């Protein structure tokens, strides 16, 4: 292969790669989701994030407590899975609009969390009666309500 053909093929490959991954990466929307390998609701949450344009890498781990400890997620804030995006953790079944808000506002916190597994939360079924809170967790482990999800209607 001549030099010019090689350079052209390398440039074409790079352009194709940027086209398939560029928008998510360019916007800082790379996300890693740590989850139990057998958890369907965590998989559903990660798929919803992919559908919203995040570049999601899934890490199936047997010991989620080690991940939660690494990110210093308080026990009372822990959920089903842990995601990391934009320098924040996103703990549990956090709704898409809260993740989008977090990345747009960039508050001085460690992350956001939906403790437990609330029925009707993202990945936990589509229940219009869903009612739960999303918490902002500061770096010192204290938390406050970041936003509330309440029944529509």
CATH of the domain at 123: 3.40.30.10
Q: Please check the confidence at residue 25 and state whether its pLDDT lies above 60.
A: no
Distance between CA atoms of residues 126 and 144, nearest Å: 26
Q: What is the mean pLDDT of residues 58-86?
A: 96
Instruction: Report yes or no: 86 and 28 within 8 Å, Cβ to Cβ.
Output: yes
Query: pLDDT value at position 1?
Result: 43
In a domain, 15, yes or no: no
In a domain, 22, yes or no: no
In a domain, 21, yes or no: no
Q: Which residues contact 16 (CB under 8 A, 6 or more apart)?
A: none
In a domain, 19, yes or no: no
CA dihedral 141, 143, 146, 147 (to 10 degrees): 130
In a domain, 20, yes or no: no
pTM of the model: 0.81
In a domain, 6, yes or no: no
pLDDT in tens, 47-62: 999 999 999 999 999 9
In a domain, 128, yes or no: yes
CA distances from 49 to 74, 95, 146 (A): 24, 9, 19
In a domain, 1, yes or no: no
How many domains does the chain fold into?
1
* Domain housing 60: 28-149
């Amino acid at each position: 292969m001549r030099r010019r053909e090689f350079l052209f093929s390398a440039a074409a490959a790079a352009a194709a790669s940027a086209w398939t991954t560029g928008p998510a990466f360019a916007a800082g929307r790379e996300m890693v989701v740590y989850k139990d390998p057998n958890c369907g609701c965590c998989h559903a949450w990660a798929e919803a994030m992919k559908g919203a344009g995040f570049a999601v890498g899934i890490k199936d781990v047997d010991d989620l407590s080690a991940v939660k400890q690494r990110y210093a997620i308080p026990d009372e804030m822990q959920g089903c899975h842990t995601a990391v995006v934009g320098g924040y953790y996103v703990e549990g079944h956090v709704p898409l609009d809260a993740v989008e808000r977090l990345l747009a506002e960039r508050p001085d916190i460690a992350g956001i969390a939906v403790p437990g597994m609330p029925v009707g939360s993202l990945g936990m079924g589509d229940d219009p009666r869903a009612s739960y809170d999303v918490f902002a967790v500061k770096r010192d482990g204290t938390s406050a309500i970041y936003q509330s999800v309440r029944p529509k209607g």
